[in-house]
Amino acid sequence: MVRSVLDTGQEAVNTCPEVADEIKQTTCYMCACRCGINVYLKDGKVRYLEGNPDHPVNKGVLCAKGSAGIMQHYSPARLSKPLLRTGERGSGEFKEIEWDEALALATEWLGEVRRSDPRRFAFFTGRDQSQSLTGWWAMQYGTPNFAAHGGFCSVNMAAAGLYSIGGSFWEFGEPDWDHTRYFMLFGVAEDHDSNPIKAGLGRMKTKGRAKFVSVNPVKTGYSAVADEWIGLRPGTDGLFVLALVHELLKAEKIDWDFLGRYTNATWLVIDDPEGPEDGLFVRNPEGATLCWDTARGELAPTADVTAKAAVVGRFPLPDGRAAVPVFELLAKRYLDPSYAPEAVAERVGISAATIKRIAAELAEAAFEKEVVLDVAWTDWAGRKHDKMVGRPVSMHAMRGISAHSNGFHTCRAIHLLQMLLGSIDCPGGFGYKAPFPKLIPPSPQPAGKTAMPERPLPGMPLGFPLGPDDLQIDAEGRPTRIDKAYSWEFPLAAHGLMHMVIHNAWAGDPYPIDVLMMYMANMGWNSSMNVQGTLKYLTDKDPETGEYKIPKIIYSDAYYSEMVPYADLILPDTTYLERWDCISLLDRPISSAHGPGDAIRQPVCEPDRDVRPFQDVLIDLANRLQLPGFVYNDGEPKYPGGYPDYIANHERSPGIGPLAGWRGPEGKQQGTGAPNPDQLQRYIENGCFWVHKLSPDQLYFKHANKSYLSFAKTMGWIPTEEPIVMQLYSEILQKFRLAARGHGKVQPPAGERARVEAYFDPLPIWYPPMEEAAVDGEDFALHAITQRPMHMYHSWGSQNAWLRQITARNRLYVHPQTAARYGIADDDWVWVISPHGRVKGQVRLMHGVNPSTVWTWNAIGKRRGAWGLDHEAPESNRGFLLNHIISELLPEREGGHRYSNSDPVTGQAAWYDLRVRLERCRPGEEGVTDPLMEPVKAPPPRGLDDGGKLRYGAELKDRKAAATGQGTPFQEWIGNRHEVSVTVPGVADGKGNVKKPGGGGEGGA
């Protein structure tokens, strides 16, 4: 606000300062939530960001990260020109080249591999939001070696849900915030689903009718505002949940009606222990699953709604075998005393009384506070219901559940609990977001077993196996993918294992590769386990040829991250305000439980550097490589206008393209329809998003709701209007087990059988996290985990001039009792020692942490010199990275084999299994982190003044004020690179300057 004092002494207030020349709308990308934003532009530069009040995701809310997007957009760490390595890998020695040269070189490298053996090209992308394009590109290229970062992020959560209920948490489902009466939050990364959860919690708490229980070893963020915090031991969530299941079964507080109608509780399972079909569903000759009709005393199709299906008992089959309903198996399993609260309490770290009380509260909320909506609806079988009745218990889970090696089964256990309570897609429960629910599991299956030169794959590289036949293995059972996804080691690795690619490529296991291309994945630092090992893999050379073991690395990013110096060819990307993006129903849309939605990003600024959006670059490369799908038979490009052209005109199947809104020549269709040349313009006119509101009778019971299923089919999300029956018991998992027992034509090698048998239990199980089981629990008595601050998103946030003023370094948070045991006081420096290595950090004591656990903020620690930060930045000198002490491999087993440190079902990276001990630093060791690696050599950061400050906005001063001299012009915006810097003992600042230690926000508890 501009103020001045008039002659009269009265203050003149400029209530209408000139803020911007124009306002453009697009979608935020400061984290993965995809909120709508209004970008205020002045003279083509970003003046101000605000939340778009009309946007369905954030309804105007803009978080700290989103607001600070301006400092991301003008980051001094931005890359500015294609780079070609001139020195050794890691040296940071590059020369700038023109785009033509860069693209010609990439085409040459990729073309050679495609002509010989396309498997020797691996393409892995990080936190981009264009996996529908990148996966399809890999398919057209013909390599199976594609995945995005889900393998180290959330595949346990996604796969468990998609193999159990046909949906999952976060992008696939959400709590019914308005009606829920009991909300349980397991783990959770607070930068995932950030604004929607915050807004939902706000709504729920404002109503004041619901209890919010947070289950998390650490009491920060959401846990800090929960009504009850369950600070259990990391990796024991599954045991806690199964004890709740035990209690609910014992008290018969389960929704029999829901189980019978919507789950496979009544489906008969063959009980023939030595037989080849043991544990499979009983089916009639047409393949329909069967139940036992107690009224008629005979087998009946489970789809026969007139049958009175048995839930318990043992029934004869015509061939002399016997069968039992799923529920019988389930009840026997979880009523076992080993799941009783008293039996698990010590291991979980929560008293039996608390577990019993939570179970009772769940039952009370579900069965005594049911929500009844006067909305008539019709189910899939044509039965009319005059009301929608819901069990108002909702749940949400993400990390750490997902990041443990038992995470797949833990997530399945949570879904089992939801099903028993009848709280899925009902008023007050968890609700599917379109296009979910989908078939269980969704189609298609992964393709790529037989990659051939110059041929596309027959299908997408990633998918959902239905059994051993869908594994990506050769005739001898060896993995055909570089990351070993879909092998006998990780059969349901539906998102790949990005965290193993560099290791496996270096080791030539299962085979070497020639070219590795990565996008937006900081594998040289916070996206890799065993950072120093990874850097060695990237720089190791073959002693005979002198060539790098991973011969060629292409990398695209917008910023000079720690990964950049380890690549050979850098293709500089734009910021999120300079490009088109498509947030698609084919990928990760912005739907809610109230209806489908998708969105775009449009460029709101012109790049001031020689950079190009990676998606455009990919399409350009596809044209140069003549990839089918991207070019016509005569070789002419199908999408000469680049990515926006592709977004509007690509059809994945007839009538289905990246965007669902305004399809058809007139733009009057949604979901399906011919491409519309004006589609992007229509999105822009609508604030860059499209949503469709479901009618009230479609809002709940979507898995069995006739009207919804019919709508979903017309939208192309499901192949038929058949109901989606939730799977308490997974026959698919049992198929893998049978293979391990020697049945079927595709069987695991002898060495894998016991592992497959153990982890492919068709009902959810709990087992100790693998590292915990493998290491000495006395020597490494503590769990070490990370949490994600709400104001950061991975490594992007801690380079941001505004956000790093909130948190510029991380501490190791330790419970006072634990600290006392180790003789550690607040502010002490300690070594955090794992079986893999040690890292040094400074302690902050806090009570809100499980005493067997220490934790720190994720990805605050940086390598010196990267991200345009000063060499003295606290992030690199005092902040630390736990990844240094996490191994990507489990300890050696007999025979010398080392499995990846991952979930044995899905291959999800087990970041949260880490076990450590603490040692207080000796005098003289304090003050600086270790390992303190050599600074990354990088070009001078862009746009800093002589004082090392990022000054921005001087030219945006209020013109009127400047012209009239009336009032004080706006301040320019200053983002610091130095203010929070410290010179730490023993670390030369390189300039002979001495700075006073201190400063720098720490955030935290």
| Binds ligand SF4 (CB under 6 A): choice among 34, 192, 246, 811 | 34
Place of tokens 């009224």: 295
Residue closer to ligand SF4 by CB (options 302, 800) is: 800
Annotate 59-84 with b (16+ C-beta within 10 A) or e (fewer).
ebbbbbbbbbbbbbbbbbbbbebbbe
Token pair listed for 910: 């087990």
For 734, phi then psi, to 5°, come to -65, -35
Query: Secondary structure of 490-536 in the HEC alphabet?
Result: CCCCCCCCHHHHHHHHHHCCCCCCCEEEEECCCCCCCCCCCHHHHHH
617 binds ligand SF4 (CB under 6 A): no
Assess 62 for contact with ligand SF4 (CB under 6 A): yes
- Nearest distance from C-beta of residue 478 to ligand SF4, angstroms: 42
State in angstroms the smallest separation of the CB of 433 from ligand SF4: 16
Interface with ligand SF4: number of residues (CB under 6 A): 13
Q: Can you tell me which of 2, 25, 26, 31 binds ligand SF4, judged by CB under 6 A? A: 31
| C-alpha distances out from residue 512 to 109, 504, 507, Å | 15, 8, 7
Q: Considering only the stretches 31-39, 300-308, 695-703, 809-817, report the one whose residues sit in contact with ligand SF4 under the rule CB under 6 A.
A: 31-39
**Residue 627 within binding range of ligand SF4, rule CB under 6 A:** no
- 588 is an interface residue for ligand SF4 by CB under 6 A: no
User: In the bound complex, which residue of the shown chain has the CB atom lying closest to ligand SF4?
Assistant: 66
Alpha-carbon distance 904 to 753, whole Å?
12
Q: How far is the CB of 603 from ligand SF4 (least distance, A)?
A: 17
Smallest distance from ligand SF4 to CB 586, Å? 20
How far is the C-alpha of 494 from the C-alpha of 438, rounded, in Å? Answer: 15
Token code pair at residue 373: 């909506």
Within its chain, how far is the Cα of 410 from the centroid? 17
By CB under 6 A, which span of 55-63, 236-244, 345-353, 763-771 interacts with ligand SF4? 55-63
- Mark the segment that binds ligand SF4 (CB under 6 A) among 29-37, 90-98, 303-311, 729-737: 29-37
Nearest residue (CB) to ligand SF4, 191 versus 470 = 191
Give the CA distances from residue 824 to residues 440, 786, 828, 882, in Å, rounded to whole numbers and listed in that order. 51, 20, 6, 19
User: What is the amino acid identity at position 919?
Assistant: E
Q: Which window, 62-70, 728-736, 872-880, 922-930, contacts ligand SF4 (CB under 6 A)? A: 62-70
- How many helices (H) does the chain have, and how many strands (E)? 26, 38
Which of 25, 26, 38, 58 touches ligand SF4 by CB under 6 A? Answer: 58
Which residue lies nearer to ligand SF4 by CB, 29 or 643? 29
In the bound state with ligand SF4, the residue whose beta carbon lies nearer, of 571 and 590, is: 590
Query: CB of residue 574 vs ligand SF4: minimum separation in angstroms?
Result: 17
Q: Which two tokens stand for residue 238?
A: 């599954």
Show contacts with ligand SF4 in window 896-935 (CB under 6 A): none
Q: Which is nearer to ligand SF4, 791 or 840 (CB)?
A: 791
Tokens representing residue 415 in the block: 């879904």
Q: Residue 62 CB, nearest distance to ligand SF4 (Å)?
A: 5
Q: Which stretch binds ligand SF4 (CB under 6 A): 25-33, 500-508, 513-521, 992-1000?
A: 25-33
Q: Given the DSSP bridges, would you call strands 121-125 and 515-519 parallel, antiparallel or unpaired?
A: parallel
Q: Which of 168, 195, 528, 887 binds ligand SF4 (CB under 6 A)?
A: 195
Instruction: State the nearest-atom distance from the C-beta of 49 to ligand SF4, in Å.
Output: 9
CA distances to 592, 706, 884 from 428, in Å: 14, 21, 43
User: Within 13 Å, how many C-alpha atoms sit on residue 176's CB side?
Assistant: 23
Applying CB under 6 A, does 35 fall inside the site for ligand SF4? Answer: yes
Binding residue for ligand SF4, selected from 33, 362, 905, 909, defined by CB under 6 A: 33
Yes or no: say if 125 and 521 are a contact pair by the CB < 8 Å rule.
yes
Q: Which is nearer to ligand SF4, 66 or 789 (CB)?
A: 66
- Please say which residue, 26 or 856, places its beta carbon nearer to ligand SF4: 26
Give the span between the Cα atoms of 826 and 843, in whole angstroms: 6
**β-strands 812-814, 838-845 pairing:** parallel
Nearest-approach distance from CB 955 to ligand SF4, in angstroms: 26
CB nearer ligand SF4, residue 711 or residue 796: 796
**Of 31 and 473, CB closest to ligand SF4:** 31
Q: Is the dihedral of CA 943, 946, 949, 953 positive or negative?
A: negative
Among 24, 65, 89, 706, indicate the residue that binds ligand SF4 (CB under 6 A): 65
- Contact status: 66 vs ligand SF4 (CB under 6 A): yes
- Give dist(CA 718, CA 712) in Å, integer: 6
Residues 467-496 that bind ligand SF4 (CB under 6 A): none
Instruction: Specify the residue, 65 or 499, whose C-beta has the smaller distance to ligand SF4.
Output: 65
Strand 782-787 to 853-857 pairing: parallel
Residue 975: CB atoms within 10 A of its CB come to 23
Binding region for ligand SF4 (CB under 6 A) out of 56-64, 372-380, 729-737, 877-885: 56-64
Paired with 151 in beta bridges are: none
Pairing state between β 182-186 and 393-397: parallel
**Residue 277 CB neighbour total at 10 angstroms:** 17
Report the length, in residues, of the chain: 1005
- What is the smallest separation between the CB atom of 69 and ligand SF4, expressed in angstroms? 7
User: Is residue 194 involved in binding ligand SF4 (CB under 6 A)?
Assistant: yes
The least CB distance from residue 171 to ligand SF4, in Å, is 13
Taking CB under 6 A as the rule, does residue 419 contact ligand SF4?
A: no
Compute the distance between CA of residue 737 and CA of residue 656 in angstroms, rounded to an integer.
37
Residue 734 has which token pair? 């049992």
Q: Does 329 bind ligand SF4 (CB under 6 A)?
A: no
Min CB(147)–ligand SF4 separation in Å: 23
Q: How far is residue 458's CA from residue 541's CA, in Å, rounded to a whole number? A: 35
CA–CA separation, 547 and 858 (whole Å): 35
Residue among 794, 807, 878 nearest 843 (CA) = 878
Could you tell me the smallest distance in angstroms from the CB atom of residue 1000 to ligand SF4? 22
Least separation in angstroms between residue 32's CB and ligand SF4 is 7
Nearer Cβ to ligand SF4, position 119 or 794? Answer: 794
Q: What is the largest CA-CA distance in the chain?
A: 104
- Residue 129 within binding range of ligand SF4, rule CB under 6 A: no
CB of 800 to ligand SF4, least distance (A): 11
CB of 934 to ligand SF4, least distance (A): 33
- Give me the least distance between CB of 63 and ligand SF4, in Å please: 3
Which candidate, 28, 55, 22, places its Cα nearest to that of 40? 22
**How far apart are the C-alpha atoms of 32 and 72, rounded to whole Å?**
15
Nearest distance in Å: CB 200, ligand SF4 = 12
The residue from 41, 63, 232, 359 that contacts ligand SF4 (CB under 6 A) is 63
CA angle (362 as vertex; 226, 427 as ends), nearest 5: 90
CB of 35 to ligand SF4, least distance (A): 3
599 lines the binding site for ligand SF4 (CB under 6 A): no
Q: Which is nearer to ligand SF4, 35 or 593 (CB)?
A: 35
Neighbours of 8 (CB within 10 A): 7
Which among 60-68, 902-910, 920-928, 989-997 is the span making contact with ligand SF4, rule CB under 6 A? Answer: 60-68
In this structure, what are the phi and psi dihedrals at residue 291, rounded to the nearest 5 degrees?
-125, 180
The residue within the footprint of ligand SF4, chosen from 24, 26, 30, 752 (CB under 6 A), is: 30
Structure tokens of 918? 């603490």
Q: Which residues bind ligand SF4 (CB under 6 A)?
A: 28, 30-31, 33-35, 58, 62-63, 65-66, 194-195
